[in-house]
């Protein structure tokens, strides 16, 4: 079984080999890029001008146009219940999917709560404000 120092030495050797291979690969890639640039008559200044043009096209850094929709959304309003189950006392606002106690009712007016329904504003975290 190899000791810790032997393993660390092998790791260091492999890391050095990996760095050498990376350098060789980079050199060949740079060489091929230079050849393509020469074939097409391009210079480094052409590349810099193109990247500067691309930067101009986008939205400036720090601009407020990209604010997330949730951050600009109007505060939600909690809707008061419109229907009440006479047996359990459970309520339903009339929005979304109807609960089991009212979903099969032919006449939902029997479950209507008397009095005006009022909307209660909510804070950003969904709590009554």
Give the up-direction half-sphere exposure of residue 113: CA atoms within 13 A in the CB hemisphere.
16
The per-residue pLDDT of the chain, averaged, comes to: 82
Q: pLDDT band for position 69 (50/70/90)?
A: low
Residue 105's pLDDT band (cuts 50, 70, 90):
confident
Q: How far is CA 4 from CA 8, 9, 11, 58, in A?
A: 6, 9, 11, 52
Predicted pLDDT of residue 71 = 61
Which whole number is the average pLDDT over 64-71?
59
How many separate helices (H) and strands (E) can be counted in the chain? 4, 4
Q: Which of 23-27, 67-71, 115-119 has the highest mean pLDDT?
A: 23-27
Whether the per-residue pLDDT at 8 is higher than 60: the answer is: yes
Percent of the chain at pLDDT > 90 equals 40
């Amino acid at each position: 079984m190899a000791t810790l120092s032997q393993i660390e030495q092998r790791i260091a050797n492999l890391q050095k080999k990996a760095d050498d291979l990376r350098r060789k690969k980079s050199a060949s890639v740079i060489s091929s890029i230079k050849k393509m640039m020469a074939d097409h008559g391009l210079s480094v200044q052409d590349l810099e001008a193109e990247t500067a043009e691309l930067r101009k096209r986008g939205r400036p850094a720090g601009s407020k146009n990209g604010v997330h929709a949730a951050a600009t959304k109007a505060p939600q309003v909690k809707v008061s219940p419109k229907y009440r189950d006479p047996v359990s006392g459970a309520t339903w606002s009339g929005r979304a999917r109807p609960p089991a106690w009212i979903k099969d009712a032919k006449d939902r007016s029997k479950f209507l709560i008397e009095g005006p329904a009022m909307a209660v504003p909510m804070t950003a975290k969904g709590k009554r404000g």
